[in-house]
Chain A
Amino acid sequence: MTPSCPPSTAEAGWLRRRGGEIALWLAVPLAVALFLPEYYLLATHVAALGLFALSLDLLVGYAGLLSLGHAMFFGIGAYTAGLLAVHGWGEPISGLLIAALVAGLVGFITSFAVVRVQHLAQLMVTLGFGLLVFEAANRARWLTGGDDGLQGMVVSPVLGLFEFDLFGQTAFFYTFVVLALCFIVATRVIDSPFGLTLEGLRENPKRMAAIGTPTAARLRQAYVFAAVFAGIAGALMAQTSQFVALETLSFGLSAEVLIMLLLGGAGHRYGGLVGAAVFVIARDLLSDLNPQYWQFGVGGVMVLVVLFAPGGVLGILRSLRQRLLPVARTSTAKAAPATPATKGGAA
């Protein structure tokens, strides 16, 4: 897994290379609308969590930063959008942007501490921040409603045209469009020199520092970036469900989003989306099948993926493709990051 730079691509080739992807992005909402309108809510849930997992991928999959407290940004985004809507600012798009800003700001402040440490300490520091914010929100009942959740959100129609309906149609298309926009931005960032720097940092921080990369600054930027996206995801969740639960800040959600990402495959642009879909749909199907013991099935899926599909669902797809099409692909951004970071300890 040598860090190497891909040949820079001309802008003109971009659309051609992405043609298949664009078709896919148009086909998915169309398919949901035509064949599964009863699953708008589930699809919205998948899309919002997919964006959340994508934001974590920027950290874990690309920059090699570890986080067990990523729900902090999701929750901050959700509460920001929620509080705005409770206090009369129901316009959703500006709500998203403000939520992104607030999450990014908190990300900026905490980033200094987070990039100072590595490995287990980094996991625990992010976890600690997440728990502290959770406790604060739990205590600030006058502001957040505590564990009863934030009630009374009034969200205006999107663009003044599309009201949020009981069937979740508006919610779905709104979430999906925002997800698509964020995905485009994320793709551009990943393919940019900045994105390659991050991968370099993941693979070999010492060498990157030696060639003059301001490593801490780059990692901090990645962290803020991920915080912004997580905040948007949280705000989407809040606006579409018109409710904010304390659980949006919880350690459980931080762990869940990491599981989603790993299930899909970290370090792929689509890892978070696929993982969110697999996890949410598996949980939904299994818990409808058996409300008591569905956890066994979800755990089983996770175990089987690790044993038989290393690198997640996308990892196994990729290795299948490599086996079927032995011609090496040029895009090195796809080299499977089997070890984005290694533990400290005696090694």
Chain B
Amino acid sequence: MMKKAGLLAALALAGASLANVAVAADDPLRIGVIATFSGPYADYGRQFDAGIQLYLKEHDGKIAGKKVEVVKKDTAGPGPDAAKRFAQELIVRDKVNFITGLDFSPNAYAIAPIVTQAKIPTVVMNASSSAITTSSPYIARVSFTVQQDSAPMAQWMLKNGIKETYVVVADYASGTDAHNAFEKAFAAGGGKVVGSVRTPMNNPDFSAYVQRIKDEKPQSVFFFFPSGVMPPAFLKAWKERGLDEAGIKLFATGEATDDSYLQATGDVALGLITSHHYSYAHPSELNKKFVKNFYAAFGKEMRPSYFAVSAYDGMAAIAGALEKTKGDVSGDKVMEALKGLKLESPRGPIEIDAATRDIVQTVYIRKVEKVDGELVNVEFDKFERVKDPAKEAQ
């Protein structure tokens, strides 16, 4: 009896209320940021926030003449279900015009159907799984794809006489992507991957893996780990076991020498060659200004990392698109304006590919050196206008 009553009540109510989402013209520009602000990866959100705040500070807190309001939502790490709910809440409750942030790929995938349904333009500031931009026509990316940074490393290694390598990646989706992209590019140029290992995400100690590599004596090793605790642990084990002395060369993507963590990683990182799209030591005038303003705003405790620069560029991309649409924030117009948008970023020239809404940028080959007592990634070679290889292949 009660079952029936409850059900009927529910059905009756289902039609009763409808929220409205009208947005007045003189409203501020509302931007929702879904990112990691707490937990082990809290640095990601902190860097995003700094990049966003710096852009706003330099532009009097305004984009396209409107005051900007930022609403932050914390996923506390990879949390696609939370991200999805936050996206819905940002749209329904906070009535945001844009969604951005998005550090972890699962989180970006999860919100794709929501932003498509609501036609909310979404600018990915980090999540680097290739297919994210294909998962919704309302998503553009200003960061990078894993493949985009991994494949050039393979090409550079081949160019410099390395024909044989061993691949170490973290056992998660991006690790697999990096592995595949690297191996494909390496094999295409005549190189050979002689062995590989995927390490668990919660693994603190790499000595057994490194010992194994030492015993197998490959010519070189390429590794990919997410920014944070894993690369320093791997490098420590590498030095401890004396693999440099054993003559094995080491290469990685720039996550291994993320500027946020590089100083704490310490001398074990010295000499490591990586491929990446941003180093805070990038020697352009624009970047020098960016770093100077960044330090002025947040103190020298925190270096701007590739997260901060992507967040800064993300805001610039939103501003650039709104300039084209003359302040119109409707999803379709904004996305149209984002396509083909070119920006001069602190990392160098970037462009949002008109066909894929993904980023086209320069990928640099860098080496960790000590400059004025600080560890930095010094760029010494580059690949220009690199597109996402995973999409190029299709």
Contact = CB atoms under 8 A, between A and B. Distances in A.
A243 B13 contact: no
Given A38-B19, A166-B88, A247 B10 contact: no
Interface string A135-156: 0001001000011110100000
Contacts of B176: 141
B14 interface: yes
Contacts of B93: 38-39
Nearest to A244: B81
B37 interface: yes
A32 to B, nearest CB: 9
Contact of B13 (A29, A45, A292): A29
Nearest to A30: B13
B106 interface: yes
Interface stretch (A58-66, A110-118, A173-181, A311-319): A173-181
B109 A148 contact: yes
A29 B42 contact: no
Interface in A213-246: 237, 241-246
Contacts of B80: 148-149, 243, 245, 247
Of listed B2, B73, B78, residue having the most chain A CB within 10 A: B2
Interface stretch (B113-121, B285-293, B296-304): B113-121
A1 interface: no
A211 interface: no
A33 B109 contact: no
A45 B172 CA distance: 27
Interface residues of A, number: 50
B38 A294 contact: yes
A41 B6 contact: no
Contact of A291 (B5, B72, B85, B117): B72
6 tightest Cβ-Cβ pairs between the two chains A and B: A291-B37, A291-B74, A245-B80, A173-B10, A149-B80, A38-B93
21 contacts: A15-B2, A22-B2, A26-B6, A29-B13, A37-B19, A38-B19, A41-B92, A42-B85, A45-B85, A147-B106, A147-B173, A151-B110, A177-B6, A247-B80, A287-B38, A287-B73, A291-B72, A292-B42, A292-B74, A294-B74, A295-B38
Interface in A14-71: 15, 18, 22, 25-26, 29-30, 33-34, 37-39, 41-42, 45
B81 A148 contact: no
Contacts of B135: 151
A162 interface: yes
B212 interface: no
B236 interface: no
Given A29-B10, A41-B88, A287-B38, A184 B2 contact: yes
A293 interface: yes
Interface in A317-338: none
B43 to A, nearest CB: 11
B237 interface: no
A18 B1 CA distance: 13
Nearest to B45: A291
Interface of B: 1-3, 5-7, 9-11, 13-14, 16-19, 37-39, 42, 45-46, 72-74, 78-81, 84-85, 88-89, 91-93, 105-106, 109-110, 112-114, 117-118, 129, 135, 171-173, 176
Contacts of A181: 3, 6
Contacts of A33: 13, 16-17
Interface of A: 15, 18, 22, 25-26, 29-30, 33-34, 37-39, 41-42, 45, 138, 141, 146-149, 151, 162, 166-170, 173, 176-177, 180-181, 184, 237, 241-248, 287-288, 291-295
B10 A167 contact: no
A149 B106 contact: yes
A177 B13 contact: no
Given A146-B172, A166-B88, A248-B81, A292 B106 contact: no
B172 A147 contact: yes
Contacts of B112: 151
Contact of B17 (A25, A148, A169, A293): A169
A167 B92 contact: yes
A20 to B, nearest CB: 13
A147 B177 CA distance: 13
A180 B5 CA distance: 11
Most chain B beta-carbon contacts within 10 A, residue among A22, A41, A141:
A41
Given A41-B92, A245-B110, A291-B37, 7 more contacts: A29-B9, A37-B18, A148-B80, A151-B109, A177-B6, A184-B3, A242-B113
A173 B110 contact: no
Contacts of A176: 10
A184 B6 CA distance: 11
A277 to B, nearest CB: 16
Contacts of A141: 173, 176
Contacts of B110: 149, 151, 243, 245
B199 to A, nearest CB: 13
Nearest to A27: B9
B85 A147 contact: no
B38 A148 contact: no
Contacts of B39: 295
A162 B106 CA distance: 28
